[in-house]
Structure 1
């Protein structure tokens, strides 16, 4: 006999130790539209929103839209948007039922449904987790209008339509909250949407957007590895029900948000979010220390035959490189906020990486590397270059990515895989550094190495 499926009618049959939403779920109207129905959103922003509604905030339920893939929509719709988050640590598993998502849709299949949600009077916020490539940026940081226009289903198409529709209907402006690993993610989103509106000659809509809409910068942090079939079977055994939307994560979570909203917002701070005037020091620490170390572990670890983060960080050859990258190079490449203890932060990161209960796959981290190396490594390298320093640990990680970019895209895809393969085919190991970072190089707008950095990177690539 097959196991029953999790849904609103089966919640009472869950084990007593599964935490339930602490509010009347049916009494909450949708106040947030989310773009990007992936595991990170379900383990992060949806959890904070669940906490806010449990603390008494009303009408902040989420309507979540996948832009293309119908898989998660098909998983959550029969479950009435319900799913579980399992926090996994050495002390065991703690399972929580999340009720914040009330509606799911697929933009590519029904754009009119997403348009209606974005133009609804009750909608006050849009949150986004679409990964770096979803912002359609060129290597120089500007918006890739040609690419997104050819796509036809970008975030800017849907948000641009929402600006025009809400203006025409006399509705309130929205706050757009990017929750992706991009420096100045709110500014990137604002610039991209403004460029889209400009391109289409939507002058009135653009003026209203620039004047009244808000796009706060944010920093998000929680490790959310991909769920395996074995994980699903284990969760099903614990729940006594099948949960096709289940998420696994670590106990730690962090959300730092610029206090800049067009109107009301949920009290996300009830779940531990921090509202600050300037996100940049926290964002930079996370990008260069956590994300930078993650990418280093991914490329160095895969090269040594490791499959998971906890294996790579335990490798006696890799760990010293990652520790130096975090503590000496990344941490010294920017000015922290008052009271921001970066050495303590590095200690916490290493402990999180070493958690063997959280099977975080290196191949998952290694995907889309060309979109990640800029904020994670190149900005730090540029700062050290200005000081006349080489930053050898960061260069070691960068060389590992370069070697991986030659052969690894079948394992972890990259939007520039064709261009990178072409450079390797034409230039080989002797010319790949110049092909990327020399005059006219593919990533030259993001970093120009000093002679000493270039020489060391070239040696590392050849090795």
Structure 2
């Protein structure tokens, strides 16, 4: 590995066709939660938008929520980092600075040149928490109102249906009346849908990037060639020309976010809780399991999707299977399994409700839910905000486990526990998984 660290001073060592597409001269975007996903997704779109439009005002100030790890990796590199998408590796230059807890985020949020705030803080962060991202955002809005710094667009890029409206509601809950009035007049919260698989970076990835770039890059991220960003066209003021970079600006994001949450993320959850594989590609290499995923998407999830006239849904589902099977991503199943109690309702339980209401049995969703129940009961290290309530006795009967977990209203509501069809389906699947394992269960259910 080269001992020379990536930075603006060493950028000349990188091949010209792998250098940043744009060099921002100002900071117009603040991003909360500058993890690997943002660096492989919104930051890439923003750089491409600057290059396409010849507009260098849209540099990004990223803010970490808790850990200083990203700042420790990026600051010594002048916030440059590489993105490898398939066989292409390129240095991205849209990030200009990284703030850590304790830095003056409010000053950046209240700067007149800041016109857009984006967030990737995960589903778990959208809970009322005075120490969390929403509270930091509100503090910045308060400073912006006091400075009369102009309108602001705040875009949630997290996997939640109606994420813009949810974020707006959480902000409103923390605003005093005068500030709330200012927010209602000056701030918009467009919904958005994001899609790109970004596994956690490994040391092998860092070694590979160093070999490709010719310099050490401790901020590198690895992703897939596919990328998608759908944004509600409701901006308070100026913005990057993201549509010039391939983003889709629409009047209603909901059909697209529902499609992605259910087909991609719902399938991911099924893989995480059923397959037992280390990586996603290993799970779908099993023809029987790949067949299960197709039935899950075709029979239980696709019928719940509306408002996609003109969109080739069959082609999209086929692209998902190709993406899942990509061995180059090495997308860890354990990464997907985190915080399942926060993800399951949107990904699998809402479509289950809709299928039940339409008079159909969500057979394949029920198998994924049973897999989750087995997982939370047996996992040694359960990363979930409800972990203590989820753990149970491994020797308990399937019906007892189903009864115990369905009673958690935050996950299953009050309707699913009272639905005899859903309860029977999940109990049957859990009994089969426990007694026979997944391969035999799939053979019996197909």
Superposition TM-score, scaled by structure 2 size:
0.93
- Structure 2, unmatched stretches of 5+, are 433-446
Task: Provide the C-alpha distance between the structure 1 equivalents of 2:79 and 2:415, rounded to a whole number of angstroms.
Answer: 44
Q: Deviations over 1:399-454 (max 9, x none)?
A: 101110112251x5111111111x5589763223233334x644232751531221
Which of the numbers 369, 391, 406 marks the counterpart of 1:437? 406
Which of the numbers 182, 201, 215 marks the counterpart of 1:227? 201
Q: Deviations over 1:325-367 (max 9, x none)?
A: 1122111012132212211111111011111111111111111
Which of the numbers 98, 121, 133 marks the counterpart of 2:92? 98
Task: Provide the C-alpha distance between the structure 1 equivalents of 2:265 and 2:178, rounded to a whole number of angstroms.
Answer: 39
Change (3 A) 1:409 1:418: same
Q: Does 1:333 align with 2:309?
A: no
> Once structures 1 and 2 are overlaid, which stretch shifts more, 342-351 or 252-261?
342-351
Residue 373 of structure 2 corresponds to 402
Task: Provide the C-alpha distance between the structure 1 equivalents of 2:414 and 2:215, rounded to a whole number of angstroms.
Answer: 49
2:158 counterpart SS class: coil
Q: Does 1:417 align with 2:387?
A: yes
1:204 counterpart SS class: helix
Q: Deviations over 1:131-182 (max 9, x none)?
A: 001111xxxxxxx3xxx13xx2x11221111221111121213111101111
Residue 323 of structure 1 corresponds to 294
1:338 counterpart SS class: coil
Residue 416 of structure 2 corresponds to 448
Residue 439 of structure 2 corresponds to none
Q: Confirm or deny: 8 A CA contact 2:22 2:94 kept in the other structure.
A: no
Task: Provide the C-alpha distance between the structure 2 equivalents of 1:376 and 1:397, rounded to a whole number of angstroms.
Answer: 11
Residue 107 of structure 2 corresponds to 116
Change (3 A) 1:447 1:323: farther
Q: Note the C-alpha offset of 1:210.
A: 2.3
**In angstroms, what is the RMSD of aligned CA positions?**
1.8
2:303 counterpart SS class: coil
1:248 counterpart SS class: strand
Residue 212 of structure 1 corresponds to 186
Q: Note the C-alpha offset of 1:116.
A: 1.0
Q: Confirm or deny: 8 A CA contact 1:212 1:262 kept in the other structure.
A: yes
Q: Confirm or deny: 8 A CA contact 1:435 1:441 kept in the other structure.
A: no
Task: Provide the C-alpha distance between the structure 1 equivalents of 2:107 and 2:396, rounded to a whole number of angstroms.
Answer: 51
2:198 counterpart SS class: coil
2:67 counterpart SS class: coil
Task: Provide the C-alpha distance between the structure 1 equivalents of 2:428 and 2:107, rounded to a whole number of angstroms.
Answer: 56
- How many positions carry a matched residue from both structures? 430
Which of the numbers 130, 146, 170 marks the counterpart of 1:168? 146
Task: Provide the C-alpha distance between the structure 1 equivalents of 2:248 and 2:410, rounded to a whole number of angstroms.
Answer: 37
Residue 26 of structure 2 corresponds to 29
- Structure 1, unmatched stretches of 5+, are 137-143
Q: Confirm or deny: 8 A CA contact 1:289 1:326 kept in the other structure.
A: yes
1:332 counterpart SS class: helix
Q: Confirm or deny: 8 A CA contact 2:378 2:394 kept in the other structure.
A: no
Q: Confirm or deny: 8 A CA contact 1:84 1:247 kept in the other structure.
A: yes
Q: Deviations over 1:45-86 (max 9, x none)?
A: 000000011121231100001010000100000000100100
Q: Deviations over 1:261-294 (max 9, x none)?
A: 1101110011100000000111000000011111
Task: Provide the C-alpha distance between the structure 2 equivalents of 1:386 and 1:35, rounded to a whole number of angstroms.
Answer: 38
Task: Provide the C-alpha distance between the structure 2 equivalents of 1:294 and 1:247, rounded to a whole number of angstroms.
Answer: 20
1:443 counterpart SS class: helix
Change (3 A) 1:22 1:233: closer
Change (3 A) 1:367 1:313: same
Residue 130 of structure 1 corresponds to 121
Change (3 A) 1:2 1:404: same
Q: Does 1:84 align with 2:82?
A: yes
